[in-house]
């Protein structure tokens, strides 16, 4: 869960929110006059929104990973201690 973008975090929380709404909707029951199949499809959209958010999260994550993979790896350049001393001496000599 390291290095997630803002979009990925929002999609995960959106999916969790839709899932919670789906569970609450299931527990609330269906309105009177619905037969069995209408009752099932009455709650179905909330679950599909949750699944859609998870699929889009996976898509954006894979897209980001491919982008990061294609970029060349940067090696942080740590200056050598001798080079730092040399630069400091140059700076001091300019001041005189």
Q: What is the pLDDT of residue 1?
A: 57
Q: What is the pLDDT of residue 15?
A: 97
49 Cβ partners below 8 Å, 6+ apart?
14, 18
| Cα separation values, 92 from 29, 89, 96, Å | 80, 5, 7
Handedness of CA 77, 82, 85, 91 (dihedral sign): negative
Walk along the chain (96 residues) and give the pLDDT tens digit of each residue.
578 999 999 999 999 999 999 999 888 877 888 887 787 788 899 999 999 999 999 999 999 999 988 988 776 666 677 888 888 888 888 876
3-state DSSP assignment of residue 34 = coil
d(CA 79, CA 74): 15
């Amino acid at each position: 869960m390291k290095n997630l973008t803002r979009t990925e975090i929002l999609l995960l929380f959106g999916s969790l929110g839709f899932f919670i709404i789906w569970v609450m909707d299931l527990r609330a029951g269906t309105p009177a006059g619905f037969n069995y199949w209408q009752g099932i499809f009455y709650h179905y959209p909330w679950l599909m929104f949750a699944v859609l958010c998870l699929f889009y999260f996976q898509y954006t994550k894979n897209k980001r990973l491919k982008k990061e993979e294609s970029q060349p790896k940067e090696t942080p350049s740590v200056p050598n201690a001798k080079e730092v001393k040399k630069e400091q001496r140059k700076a001091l000599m300019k001041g005189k």
